Amino acid sequence: MKSTSPFGLRLRIALFTGMVLFAVIALTDVTLATLLQTHAHTIGDEAEASCDVDTHQALDTFAKRLRKPVFVYLCTGAALSLLLIWLVVHYVVVRPLSQITRAVERVTDGDQNVHVPIQGAGELVSLSLRFNQMTRTIAAQRAELLAQIDKIETANRERLAAQDRLVGASRLASLGTLAAGVAHEIGNPVAGVLGLLEALESEEEPARVAHYHALIRKETERVDRTISELLNYARPERNLDAPAEGTTLTDAADNVLQLLKAQSRFDGVVFSISIAASLPPVRMCTEDFTQLLVNLLLNAAEAMEGRGHIEVAAQRDADTPQQIVLSVADDGPGIPAEDQPHVFDPFFSRRRSSGGTGLGLAICHRICERNGGRIQLDETHAPGARFVVLLPVVSREGANA
């Protein structure tokens, strides 16, 4: 039988007769085993007894009894170790990384006042410090940028206010110039007419009376012409989105030249016309184009004092094919550099003695503006003066309409 005692011994007894007797005795005391070994020879006179106390069986039994608890202890220890490792990784690595990730998301959403706690492993501590430094730098730069934007907005408001004041002052100055021109162009003829009427009251000679009547008519016509030019200058701009009336340049230019050549002031003027018949119509009514070209030609003739050469040319704009470039050039004395910035100002003229009002070029500028065009002085042209007019062509949709 198997012993359940940690002191179970297996005894082997050899009798004198040569037979071997095995006995397994369950012992609870080592002393009993020793006693049995000592007195085994009493079984026979010449019996040889040997007793081998084998402890291996006891150790095996003890090991079997300990095997299950040890397995439980190992599993429990492994589970506790894994839990400890998870806690360490969570609080040292995962949690700091999660906080940094949430902080990055807040910064991405526009919140620069974000700080993460300094915790975790050495690299995470360094990362947290760098992140906090980055957010402080971003917040400082953002504050500086907002301050700069505020300064720029303040400067823009001040600039707009100054621009409004400048525009207002410019309008007042223009109004003053216009009023001065009107007073000059209308006041002088009216004063002359009043003086002539006063002279007529005491004049009895028919020839002088007729002469005074002619002068009164001339000054009255001058006033009427000035008023008409002022009305043309003050006409409102046309709606450029509305279908436009097209003007063929060749036909309109021929009509203007025939009209002007009949006047004595153009007797000494030679005209050169270079306008291709294939050019498309320009987006301008015939009345406006006629007035534009007449004023340019009158200005050139007055500059040359009725003698010289005037060249009229038109072609497509090389840079903008939807525009026609019309130019009027003369070989007169030209325009002084100090007067060039003012040539399109109302009532600006150096030739008042010739009967000009100083509104001709201003009216040309106004006509071009209200028809979507542009006029400018070619400052490089010499000798004489050259004015360049950019006129939009009639679109196909407008032509079909």
Residue 149: pLDDT band by 50, 70, 90 thresholds?
A: very high
Give 275's strand partners.
Answer: 314
Residue 1: pLDDT band by 50, 70, 90 thresholds?
A: very low
Q: Which CATH number fits domain 246-400: 3.20.20.80, 3.50.50.60, 3.40.50.620, 3.30.565.10?
A: 3.30.565.10
Rounded to the nearest angstrom, the gap between the alpha carbon of residue 271 and the centroid of all alpha carbons in its chain is 51
Give burial (CB, 10 Å; 0-12/13-18/19+) of 149.
exposed
Residue 382 to residue 379: CA distance in whole angstroms: 8
Note the pLDDT tens digit of each residue in 282-341: 988 888 888 899 889 988 888 888 788 999 999 998 888 889 999 999 988 888 888 888
Residue 132 to residue 126: CA distance in whole angstroms: 10
Q: Which of 149-153, 202-206, 217-221 has the highest mean pLDDT?
A: 149-153
395 pLDDT higher than 80:
no
Note the pLDDT tens digit of each residue in 227-253: 776 776 666 655 545 555 688 899 889
Note the pLDDT tens digit of each residue in 185-196: 677 778 888 888
Q: Answer whether 0.75 is exceeded by the pTM.
A: no
DSSP string, 102-165: HHHHHHHTT---------SSHHHHHHHHHHHHHHHHHHHHHHHHHHHHHHHHHHHHHHHHHHHH
pLDDT of residue 350: 63
Give 308's strand partners.
Answer: 269
pLDDT of residue 325: 93
pLDDT of residue 213: 86
Average pLDDT, the chain: 75
Q: Are 216 and 198 in contact (CB under 8 A)?
A: no
Name which of 150-159, 238-247, 358-367 the model is least confident about.
238-247
